[in-house]
Amino acid sequence: MADLWQNAMDHAVAAARRAGQVVREALLDDRKVMTKSSSVDLVTQTDQKVEQLIIQSVKEKFPTHRFIGEESVAAGEPCILTDDPTWIVDPIDGTTNFVHAFPFVAVSIGFSVNKQMEFGVVFSCLEDKMFTARRGSGAFCNGEPLQVSGQKDIQRSIIATEFGSNRDPEVVDKMFSSLRNVLCIPVHGMRGAGTAAINMCLVASGCVEAYYEIGMHVWDLAASSLIVSEAGGVLMDVEGKDARASADGGDARRGAKSVRCACVFRRSGRSDVPTDRRSQQQNHR
């Protein structure tokens, strides 16, 4: 049976690749940096230009489709998800990295119908890695299949997180308290690429066991949420409830800032974790 949305997914991949070229070229010039909610919540003209390029290209091909774009919402567009085919776009995920030429910058394009992600595309444009997922058809990086880590023991895991752009001392204290709690489990290590989308693609790739962040937005994770779940991972909120609903834009319906945790372990975990950890051979794939 013909895939109704394959044509749209092909368009998304091509648009993400073109957008990545714009990002790479912009890195050769001065980047005009502006701020949004705080002095560390950055946006550039490239973010805005890339979002408009993606949205205009989609409008020409799919004139009835709707959009939720990070910079359009910042400019006052509504952030409401309907059952209509909707493109959820983060033109540059990792804007702070882009400003500093720190080499993890992603173009993230998710596509939702009936409030369910149909495909996700994350282009890590400085690594030239195209992460894709079609609902029910698996997740891939440059065409190679992805699978989350098989590690069942958090004490043998790497956990990723991000600090966001809130510098309120009380919020920072809470973040550091979470960091301390996770590190002292103990875990092998903690990492952060500086972009939610790439952190989640690292989980889908099996090199990071879990990623959490408090305060992500729907455009940060719409595409990568499907890449994670199609790679065998799960998304949950801070209470452990299935977060795909909100990752599919639930918070967009409410127009609220998300408080969400994208924790991913393999779907079917058994508790055959060896009790005596000291003598266990640490086998990592």
Which residue number has the CB closest to ligand LTE5OB6J? 196
Q: Which two tokens stand for residue 143?
A: 């065409």
Per DSSP, 155 falls in state G
Could you say whether residue 230 binds Mg ion (CB under 5 A)?
A: no
Q: What share of the chain is helix, strand, coil (3-state, %, to 5)?
A: 35, 20, 45
Of ligand LTE5OB6J, Mg ion, none, which one does residue 132 interact with (CB within 5 to 8 Å by kind)? none
Could you say whether residue 118 binds ligand LTE5OB6J (CB under 6 A)?
A: no
State the nearest-atom distance from the C-beta of 164 to ligand LTE5OB6J, in Å: 4
Identity of the residue, 90 or 251, whose beta carbon is nearer to Mg ion in the bound complex: 90
Could you say whether residue 232 binds ligand LTE5OB6J (CB under 6 A)?
A: no
Could you say whether residue 57 binds ligand LTE5OB6J (CB under 6 A)?
A: no
Of Mg ion, ligand LTE5OB6J, none, which one does residue 51 interact with (CB within 5 to 8 Å by kind)? none
Could you say whether residue 93 binds Mg ion (CB under 5 A)?
A: yes
Per DSSP, 31 falls in state -
Could you say whether residue 71 binds ligand LTE5OB6J (CB under 6 A)?
A: no
**Which residues contact residue 7 at a Cβ distance below 8 angstroms, ignoring those fewer than 6 apart?**
none
Edge-to-edge, what's the strand order for the sheet holding 210-212? 189-191, 158-161, 210-212
* Residues in a beta bridge with 115: none
Alpha-carbon distance values, 94 to 70, 121, 280 (Å)? 12, 15, 38
Could you say whether residue 213 binds Mg ion (CB under 5 A)?
A: no
Q: What is the DSSP string of 233-282?
A: B--B-TTS-B-HHIIIIIHHHHTPPP---B---BSS------S--TT---
Of ligand LTE5OB6J, Mg ion, none, which one does residue 153 interact with (CB within 5 to 8 Å by kind)? none
Out of 120, 164, 233, 250, the residue judged to bind ligand LTE5OB6J by CB under 6 A: 164
State the nearest-atom distance from the C-beta of 47 to Mg ion, in Å: 6
Neighbours of 123 (CB within 10 A): 29
213 is in an annotated binding site: no
State the nearest-atom distance from the C-beta of 1 to Mg ion, in Å: 34
Q: Which residues bind Mg ion (CB under 5 A)?
A: 70, 90, 92-93, 220
Q: Residues with catalytic annotation?
A: 70, 90, 92-93, 95, 220
